[in-house]
Chains A and B, each alone.
Chain A
């Protein structure tokens, strides 16, 4: 290990919790969650949602934190090497490559989406996105849609590099530079310091927007049914018939899964920088609780309530049908336009908050790849960061160019940001409970713990979580894998996306191969022949 990596650790207990929570809290908390809840039984959705939280999200999170800290005890920080130690061999190590591929692959398009939030924020600061107040909702929606299409370049490949759309490319340069700046500064001076400010600011922004939404009352006396209480009812009134549908339970589990960032490769890396007896049980729980606060406490109260008050039942239902991005970037600007003098202030606050949510996530996506490269090559932090920044730039340029219909980024999102997350979580929990051993894992989890985890979770980690993930994995693979693969080869953008994923995977496998040789030669116990304390 280089002396640089020896010195790399979290500055405080709270720092790592906020960093993990920042990684988890993203656009999905404010946009995806309310849409999913409204479409799947409203308040009743919270029953399968909390079941999934306690049966899947929290237990797998505990396993990841524990594995990461264990790897750190052996001086390992990259997901492949940590998984190799947990799984005692090469297969686990090469499966662990997913723990680097996922965050690095997702970063290629996530920073692009982060750029949208930043571009919207700047536009609201400088006078709005071109929606004319007082015109009809249809006209405002058209104006909002036109701005959204220009910012995202969805009309065709290469359109972002022409005319007004260049604004997106310039915004991307700024956003990417901010990301790389903080990643260059390292773990405690960069990421930890940034999230220590960003998370409280994000909470304050969310609180201000929440208060504004809850005090909207009945803005149009001509339509008294469009009021805040009915808006909350749209989101929270339970429809118990939805609980009889398997789709509702699957949607709730998926929401929990993706929201908490389990199986993403970040937690295992971040927790490897903890000290030997730093608590992981309470830290993991606190990071999860923070994520839930932003998701249920803010996301569940703001987005659909505001939309309902101004757009009514049919308008809100139509907005939910457009999906997370349609709701956040197309519909909400129309909602803000109904707020009169508050339009630009609330618009700027909202998109600044979304940008903070996005950047605290994107910052975490480079660190696993940097740690992996440093570990494999013994390069300096700056050297490894430069290489990863170059890979990120190549991925981003492809994302910025192949924008037609969002084919490039949605393909990467599906395979890397959705499918492989399930695969990695399944691999991790199986290796933790069955190869590392649940009893040993349980002891490891409680080393230095500030809380005692109820014994029932031992059973859940060994049986329930793996069984659930295996069922979903097998079910999806049998039913959809071939068709999804075929669809991912249907356009130029999606084909380039698949080749990009393959290219990053090949790079990571080569780095892992040489890293394995280097660490063995250096006498590092990468197969965990001698258990750490």
Chain B
């Protein structure tokens, strides 16, 4: 594998793994809005 191959692979993996962890962390730490049902 070439150096550029390593760079592309590592960058992509950091982006998708990091992005997913960040999103789930944010979801799990944000409270769900308390309100009435979705029906009008």
Contact = CB atoms under 8 A, between A and B. Distances in A.
B8 A46 contact: yes
Contacts of B33: 275-279, 448
Nearest to B11: A46
Contact of A43 (B4, B17, B36, B39): B4
Nearest to B38: A72
A80 B20 CA distance: 32
A451 B13 contact: no
A195 interface: no
A238 B23 contact: no
Interface residues of B, number: 30
A13 B27 contact: yes
A275 B38 contact: yes
A532 B40 CA distance: 8
Contact of B5 (A43, A75, A279): A43
Contacts of B38: 9, 69, 72-73, 75, 272-276
Contacts of A276: 33, 35-36, 38
Given A43-B5, A289-B16, A292-B20, A450 B37 contact: no
The dominant DSSP class at the B interface is helix
A99 interface: no
Contacts of A300: 9, 12
Contacts of B1: 229-230, 232-233, 236-237
Interface string A40-56: 00111010001000000
Interface in A221-243: 229-230, 232-233, 235-238
A188 interface: no
Given A73-B40, A290-B20, A292-B19, A232 B5 contact: yes
A8 B12 CA distance: 38
A150 interface: no
A240 B40 CA distance: 54
Interface stretch (A280-288, A334-342, A427-435): A280-288
Contacts of A13: 27, 30, 32
B37 A451 contact: no
Given A237-B5, A289-B20, A283 B27 contact: yes
A230 B5 CA distance: 10
A279 B23 CA distance: 13
B23 to A, nearest CB: 4
Contacts of A31: none
Contacts of A238: 2, 4-5, 8
14 contacts: A6-B37, A236-B1, A237-B4, A238-B4, A272-B38, A275-B35, A282-B27, A282-B30, A286-B20, A292-B20, A296-B12, A297-B16, A300-B12, A450-B30
Interface of B: 1-2, 4-9, 12-13, 15-17, 19-20, 22-24, 26-28, 30, 32-33, 35-40
